[in-house]
């Protein structure tokens, strides 16, 4: 009996001494499942969050630089156009930082609530860390589109998503917004969310995929509604 107790204590000590590797941002791209398992054991937030916010802010800044201010310059003059451009740039950077944080928090809260309703034991830090890591992929997609838009120039920024289905169709309004939502990096993020809900949130594969797809569809519908509203206002 004493030998069994001693062996059990040794196993517990050995298990507690096992070092869990920290998740890396690059890992969410190269080895997502392993990275998600690491997030579950050792969630990291601060540094990944800073990197994602920097990428998002840079994308917002490049998008603003792609705006054609010629019409503003005709109405307000060069000085007025410069003032509008500076104000827009500052606004884009602020929205990239604050808006990015709010979006990540809301997304993590929604996923956290879903997992908790399912009766799974999980900490918010785990779900927030997972959300931040996955957002790296979508942020890279946003930055890539902003870079392409910067060099191509002009056009409607709303529907200029070069990695989306709309880059082939070229539709406008509600249809353009809907097709723009069917985008490579967005789909990639949806797949990673399904993996995350399964490995971090401990949901079944079926439930994880169903939730991720439903959230993707809801996001597409919201973008479609936004595009339809803009079309009506501009009509």
Q: Coil, strand, or helix at residue 50?
A: helix
The secondary structure element, H or E, covering residue 62 is helix 46-65
In sequence order, which residues have a C-beta less than 8 Å from that of residue 180 and are 6 or more positions away?
158, 159, 161, 164, 165, 166, 223
User: For residue 74, what pLDDT is reported?
Assistant: 67
Confidence of residue 152 (pLDDT cuts 50, 70, 90): confident
Q: 3-class DSSP state for residue 184?
A: helix
pLDDT tens profile 85-141: 777 888 878 888 898 899 999 999 999 999 999 999 999 999 999 999 999 999 999
pLDDT in tens, 44-75: 999 999 999 999 989 988 888 877 666 766 67
Asked if 177 contacts 227 with a C-beta cutoff of 8 angstroms, the reply is yes
**Contact (CB, 8 A) for 180 and 166:** yes
| Cα–Cα dist 19/7, whole Å | 20
Domain ranges of the chain: 31-234
């Amino acid at each position: 009996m004493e030998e069994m107790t001693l062996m059990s204590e040794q196993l517990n000590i050995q298990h507690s001494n096992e070092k869990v590797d920290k998740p890396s941002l690059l890992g969410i791209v190269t080895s997502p499942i392993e990275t998600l398992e690491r997030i579950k054991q050792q969630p990291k937030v601060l540094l990944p969050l800073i990197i994602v916010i920097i990428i998002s802010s840079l994308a917002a800044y490049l998008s603003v630089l792609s705006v054609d201010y010629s019409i503003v310059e005709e109405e307000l003059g060069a000085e007025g156009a410069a003032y509008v451009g500076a104000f827009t740039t500052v606004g884009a950077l602020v929205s990239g930082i604050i808006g990015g944080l709010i979006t990540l928090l809301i997304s993590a809260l929604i996923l956290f609530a879903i997992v908790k309703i399912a009766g799974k034991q999980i900490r918010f830090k785990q779900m927030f860390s997972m959300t931040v890591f996955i957002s790296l992929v979508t942020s890279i997609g946003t930055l890539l589109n902003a870079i392409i838009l910067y060099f191509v120039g002009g056009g409607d920024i709303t529907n200029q998503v070069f990695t989306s289905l709309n880059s082939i169709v070229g539709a406008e309004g509600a249809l353009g917004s809907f097709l723009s939502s069917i985008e490579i990096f967005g789909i990639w993020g949806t797949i990673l969310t399904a993996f995350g809900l399964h490995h971090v949130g401990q949901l079944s594969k079926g439930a994880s995929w169903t939730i991720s797809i439903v959230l993707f569809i809801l996001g597409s519908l919201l973008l479609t509604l936004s595009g339809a509203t803009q079309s009506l206002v501009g009509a």
